[in-house]
Chain A
């Protein structure tokens, strides 16, 4: 099957995603004594291309679309897989109520904040802009060692349920309705 056909088939969204990393700066934690042993790593970036035409079609049809941002801090290891120091997952879900013209946005990192919006531009901003702080135990870091941060985005459109049994099983093995970016990385200073 050609790439063109594949694109036609379903919910494989050809997504070009660019992350604009604003800052990845390790700073000393706050004065809060509970966080004294932790390093707060502010993570700011904007994802572009999250709302491709097919994604928007799915949203307007009332299909929930989930954006999962994965951020991992890793330590490179020669001759073996890199060691994962810490990871952060940000799950953002949009569900559009086409009767009431309302967007329901769920942000997992904000303690499941439920937001009702009627403006798509606001919704887009809410999804695309990531402004989080990763708290990592300082014990995990060693002086003079190298660390890097990598990140990616998975977009998943909720697929139909109640399909005939074999279809449900077979489709679950295939990447329909999923889109995944590469894992770009930046070194930590």
Chain B
């Protein structure tokens, strides 16, 4: 696992757990709040026990909350997915497809099921309240109502009939009381009436004839107000429940025989409706009532079922969506991690490791990826090690190395090449070689690369001369074509060695040999010539009387010229026989001070300045040779300032500790040296002066080279020449 990813994963896991705890707490509190709210809302309508209420409403609350939570999560995930897709986050497209597939697969059967169930319930409920059922119930109800109505009408009818008989037969007369009882009993039996009662005008019950099948205990006489109604001349019926049965009473007045307007009593005919019948009719009534009650709830019941189905449908759809998200996440999660891992590896992070999530094929894929990354890392480390090794070799090799690919772009430039060509690798890498080596002085390199590119051979070697602002280099350049395993040309490598010093040393050695031979061949005859001239002069000078002056001048000239020639030959001889360097610990500043003493007094018109920057340690120097070199340089400086009749000579010494290099700079304000002459300056017999032998700077160069040092010449600003000598302290 990546070093950074471990704490991040832990942090995410902690956050997730914390969030889950919060959600559980919120759900718990919502259930606590919602349950009493639902119980309150249900109010008095719910006639179920309170424990049932709490349990059921608690469950309803949980369902509502979970459904809302599910909806929230699904909506949140869908929104997240849309945004991820818009942002082009890896894995979002695959996740979208999987989720869409799951939703699609769940939508069709769910909606089909919803439609079938809704239609089925709708049809079933419609059947419950079908016309036939309703009509049957209504008819039953009407039968029951008609039964009571008929009974009422019969009661009234028979009451009227018996009342008429009583009136016509004067049966209310006290004398006919027995006859009245008999007639009432007869009529009760004849008409199969329940109870027949006769009340006097004083509300006194005169006669009561009762059907023996009626339970006596259950019978209650009509209330006095009903009897009074009869006495008032009203005919009325009244249904009165008594015990388990009903009495249907028909109440009519009994008129006087002599005066039709006079009411002398009340007759009550009671029909008895037995309990079994009442029970059945009450059942019909109750069923009728309940049917209408339920009918009123027909639409709510339908709605309720549709609502329930909708919830179940939504639950299935949201669950399927959620499951789709879960499955998509379980598939795209590792793929996303793999993609991220690939990107990380592509960006060079080879420490990236993916935590295996499962032991299935995806787990194997992740393990393979981790193995691949690990192997890649090891290979990269090895390659890097080799590259660094190669770089170090190239950096430390004395030869300059430049590689160019087949497109002509520079791909490598080592340190030595940078130093030699006074270029920086970063300014040339990935540039076309024509562009990088565009200056005229680099024409040799350009030509070599161009020739190599068109050449069919494998190698090309050439000596190149490069003129840089401060030096001229002689390089031995070797161009080798690079080919891959199949022999295809992939570029070239250019290796060049600086032959400048070697060539200079070879030249010096050659010149020394020439000088030695000249000295040897010329010096030998010079002494006899000089001696002969002196002898002639001594012997014959006084013998010439007239032309003695001519003789004198000629011999003097011969002697002087020979002398000058001898001096010249001696110088040649000295150059050719330069003694071997004898380095001893000496102070460079002391040597310079001593040398300057020789010049300060005789050259008052010249300002000598000696600056000592830092402390130069004592190191091995050949005191005499070094003094000679400085003398030669000061002589040259004085010569260059002769025209001006004065000037300034500045000598500056310094020490570079990091390089362990002592540095001497001798600058004058003289006429300076033209740039084109600078490369030949240290060659023997090259002089810018008419009287010079051309050996002074060659000797200086020879001494400095013997001390493993290096001398170069630059222009001094604002005018003059500046010689820079660098001497290594450790040899």
Contact = CB atoms under 8 A, between A and B. Distances in A.
Interface in B263-310: 281-282, 285-286, 288-294, 296-301, 303-304, 307-308
Interface string A95-132: 00111111000000000000000000000000000000
B304 A58 contact: no
A172 B42 contact: yes
A175 to B, nearest CB: 10
Interface stretch (A70-78, A144-152, A163-171): A163-171
A61 B294 CA distance: 11
A9 interface: yes
Interface string A152-169: 000001111101011111
B349 interface: no
A79 B145 CA distance: 60
A98 B285 contact: yes
Contacts of A172: 41-43, 45-46
Contacts of A11: 296-297
Interface string B128-157: 000000000000010011001000000000
B299 A99 contact: no
Interface string B52-73: 0100110010000000000000
Given A57-B292, A172-B42, A62 B285 contact: yes
A99 B285 contact: yes
A64 to B, nearest CB: 9
B429 interface: no
A10 B148 contact: no
Interface string B144-184: 11001000000000000000000000000000000000000
A173 interface: yes
A189 interface: no
A159 B57 contact: no
B47 interface: yes
A143 interface: no
Interface in A24-74: 54, 57-58, 61-63
A168 B304 CA distance: 10
Contacts of A167: 301, 304
Given A9-B303, A62-B289, A159-B45, A171 B57 contact: no
Nearest to B45: A172
B9 interface: no
Given A99-B144, A100-B239, A169-B57, A174 B289 contact: no
Contacts of A1: 303
A10 B298 contact: yes
Contact of A173 (B38, B239, B299): B38
B48 interface: yes
B293 to A, nearest CB: 4
A177 B288 CA distance: 18
Contact of B293 (A100, A160, A165, A169): A160
A158 B293 contact: yes
Interface string A4-16: 0100111100000
Nearest to B240: A100
B292 A63 contact: yes
A57 B148 CA distance: 21
A99 B148 contact: yes
A19 interface: no
A165 B300 CA distance: 15
Contacts of B42: 169, 172-173
Contacts of B296: 10-11, 54, 58, 63, 157, 159-160, 176-177
A161 B44 CA distance: 13
A172 B57 CA distance: 11
Contacts of B56: 165-166, 169
A9 to B, nearest CB: 3
Given A8-B299, A10-B298, A169-B57, A159 B293 contact: yes
B308 A99 contact: no
B279 to A, nearest CB: 12
B46 A169 contact: yes
Contacts of A163: 294, 297, 301
Contacts of B141: 98
Contacts of B303: 1, 9
B117 to A, nearest CB: 15
Contact of B60 (A10, A102, A168, A169): A169
Interface of B: 38, 41-43, 45-48, 53, 56-57, 60, 141, 144-145, 148, 239, 246, 281-282, 285-286, 288-294, 296-301, 303-304, 307-308
What 5 A-B pairs are tightest by C-beta distance, nearest first?
Answer: A61-B292, A9-B299, A62-B289, A172-B42, A160-B293
Interface of A: 1, 5, 8-11, 54, 57-58, 61-63, 97-102, 157-161, 163, 165-174, 176-177
11 contacts: A10-B299, A98-B141, A98-B145, A99-B145, A101-B145, A160-B293, A169-B46, A169-B57, A173-B41, A174-B300, A176-B300
Given A54-B296, A171-B45, 6 more contacts: A10-B300, A11-B296, A61-B289, A98-B288, A163-B301, A171-B304
